[in-house]
């Protein structure tokens, strides 16, 4: 069992399908199936069961996948350390995770500037909900996380920016009447959902009237623009040229309702030049903006 097998097992586990895993690994399905059978023969056990719904790992297979993931992490940490020791310049791979919206709205131009300053640094980017990024950082899949909202973290945590949370409607409405009006909600980060749910029950003490549930913020804004209800969203979700009615919301104590963006990492990883330079770079750039 070698490095290629580790990545194969991880891809199969993550994708839940031989077809999808073969696409991720850039190998043919027959070649992937052959390697699976060879690995099962080597260990003299079956670690994958197949069905019409995809693949499922056996108990032994789950153990092998966890081993493979541990080995991938250990290998990457070793490469990071060796790169850090062997060069006076900033080089190596920066493993970075960012929330969906920060990755979409900020990371492209930030990474362009960073790569111009540090051309020897390769970047491995992962995106997801902030709660997922935090988990990946805890598991050492990534070295730096850029996340949004309120959460507990026992390592370095630096504030990058804040944004208002707004009431959005296609016409002016009375905030005090929101419990009686149709609301459009969307699938979002569990951290944001928790914040908005807590704010709602602190202010209104009664449940909202949910008229519609959609899968993302852009669809939500589209439904609101057609008068199908109001929504509550962070300001990043809104087109500044929109003709929608917007109102910044306050909590029960009269404080502006907002959402913060943070950069987080583990103290031990700041010794890597790639991590150290990126943390300094992004703090400076976000301050300038």
Say if residue 54 is in the same domain as residue 188. no
Whether this prediction's pTM lies above 0.75 is answered by no
pLDDT of residue 239 exceeding 70: no
Interatomic CA distance for residues 9 and 68, integer angstroms: 7
H/E element, 78: helix 59-86
Across 22-30, average pLDDT = 90
Chain-centroid distance, C-alpha 142: 11
Q: Which residue(s) pair with 135 in the sheet? A: none
By residue range, what is the domain housing residue 231? Answer: 163-258
Interatomic CA distance for residues 90 and 99, integer angstroms: 25
For 151-173, the pLDDT digits (tens) are: 999 999 999 999 999 999 999 99
Tokens standing for residue 80: 């990071």
Phi, psi of 215 (to 5 degrees): -95, -10
Q: Which residue(s) pair with 209 in the sheet? A: 182
The CATH number of the domain holding residue 57 is: 1.10.10.10
| Average pLDDT of the residues of the chain | 90
Say if residue 128 is in the same domain as residue 265. yes
Say if residue 215 is in the same domain as residue 140. no
User: Does the residue 149 lie in any domain?
Assistant: yes
**What's 43's DSSP letter?**
H
């Amino acid at each position: 069992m070698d490095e290629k097998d580790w990545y194969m097992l991880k891809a199969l586990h993550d994708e839940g399908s031989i077809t999808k895993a073969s696409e991720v690994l850039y190998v043919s399905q027959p070649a992937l199936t052959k390697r699976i059978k060879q690995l099962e023969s080597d260990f003299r056990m079956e670690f994958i069961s197949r069905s019409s719904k995809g693949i499922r790992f056996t108990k032994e297979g789950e153990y092998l996948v966890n081993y493979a993931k541990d080995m991938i992490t250990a290998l990457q940490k070793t490469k990071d350390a060796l790169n850090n020791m062997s060069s006076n310049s900033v080089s190596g791979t920066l493993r970075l995770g960012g929330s969906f919206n920060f990755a979409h709205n900020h990371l492209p131009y930030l990474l362009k500037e960073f790569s111009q300053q540090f051309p020897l640094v390769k970047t491995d980017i992962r995106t997801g909900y902030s709660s997922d990024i935090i988990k990946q950082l805890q598991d050492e899949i990534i070295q730096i996380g850029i996340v949004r909202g309120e959460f507990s973290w026992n390592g370095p945590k630096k504030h990058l920016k804040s944004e208002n949370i707004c009431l959005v409607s296609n016409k002016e409405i009375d905030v005090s009447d929101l419990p009686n009006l149709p609301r459009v909600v969307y699938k979002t980060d569990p951290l944001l959902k928790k914040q908005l749910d807590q704010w709602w029950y602190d202010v209104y003490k009664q449940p909202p009237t949910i008229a519609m549930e959609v899968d993302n913020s852009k669809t939500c804004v589209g439904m609101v623009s057609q008068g199908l209800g109001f929504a509550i969203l962070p300001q990043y979700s809104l087109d500044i040229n929109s003709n929608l009615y917007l109102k910044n919301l306050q909590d029960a104590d009269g404080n502006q309702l907002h959402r913060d963006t943070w950069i987080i990492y583990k103290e031990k990883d700041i010794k890597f030049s790639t991590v150290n330079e990126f943390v300094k770079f992004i703090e400076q750039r976000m301050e300038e903006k």
